[in-house]
Amino acid sequence: MIPSKRTVGRLKEEIYTNAVGLFCDACTLYQKRSYATTFALAILSLEELGKLAMVDHICDDICINSHVKPQDFLKHLFSRSMFLSHNNKQAWAAIHFGSDDLNSKRHNDISEGDLDRAKQDALYVGYFKGKIRSPKEITRRKAYLELSYVVDLFREVRDMGFNGFDGDSNSSSRAKANRRLKKVEAALRSLRVPSK
C-alpha cells in the first residue's frame, strides 16, 4: 500500500519527534552517569535524523520525477538496505547534516562500520580482536562529545521534520522546529561539561 503524501509528511514529523525524545533521554541518562547508554541513544537519535533525510530526499525525488511511479521510490525507501540499515542512516545524517568532508574521521568511522560497532559496544559486553569490550569503557567525555555532535545536526535539520511532503517551509513549520531545537539545546546545556 502506497502511503499518502499526508502520511509521509506525518512520518517525517514522527521521526523528528522521536529523534528529540531519544536525545533528551540520552541527556537524562548522562545526568545519572550512565555514559554508555547516553552514547548509544545519541547515535540512535543521529540515525533518526538520517532517516528523516532519507524520507525527505525520496519526497523530493517523487516531486521532481513525476514520470516515475511513486511506489518505486517508496519501495526503495522502505527496503532493508535503506530504511533499516544503521550504517546507511548514519551516513545519511553525516552527509546531509554533518561535515561536507567525505574523508573526515566521522565519515570513515561510518563507512568502516566503526560508529555502529561503538554503539553496539556501548550496549553489550563483547569480545573483539582478542579483547573484552565493555560498555563501561565509554567515558563521560565521549558521551558528551556525541551529544554535542548530534545537537549540531539538529541545527542543520531546521524544519525538515515539519515541512510536509512537499518541503514547504513556513512560519508554522519553523516555529515547531524551533521549539524542538530549544528543547534539545536546553537538555545539552543542563549537563556538566567534562574536562578535557
Is residue 196 domain-resident?
A: no
Is residue 38 domain-resident?
A: yes
Q: What is the pLDDT of residue 76?
A: 75
The number of folded domains in the chain is 1
Is residue 34 domain-resident?
A: yes
Confidence of residue 1 (pLDDT cuts 50, 70, 90): low
Is residue 21 domain-resident?
A: yes
Whole-Å CA distances, 194 to 24, 30, 99, 140, 141: 18, 11, 24, 7, 6
Domain that holds residue 12: 5-189
Is residue 194 domain-resident?
A: no
Q: What is the pLDDT of residue 103?
A: 62
Rounded CA separation 168/162 (Å) = 9
Is residue 109 domain-resident?
A: yes
Is residue 195 domain-resident?
A: no
Rounded CA separation 116/84 (Å) = 13
Confidence of residue 78 (pLDDT cuts 50, 70, 90): confident
Rounded CA separation 38/173 (Å) = 29
Q: At what angle do helices 140-157 and 5-31 cross, to 10 degrees?
A: 150
Confidence of residue 71 (pLDDT cuts 50, 70, 90): confident
Type of residue numbered 64: I
Across residues 172-187, what is the average pLDDT? 96
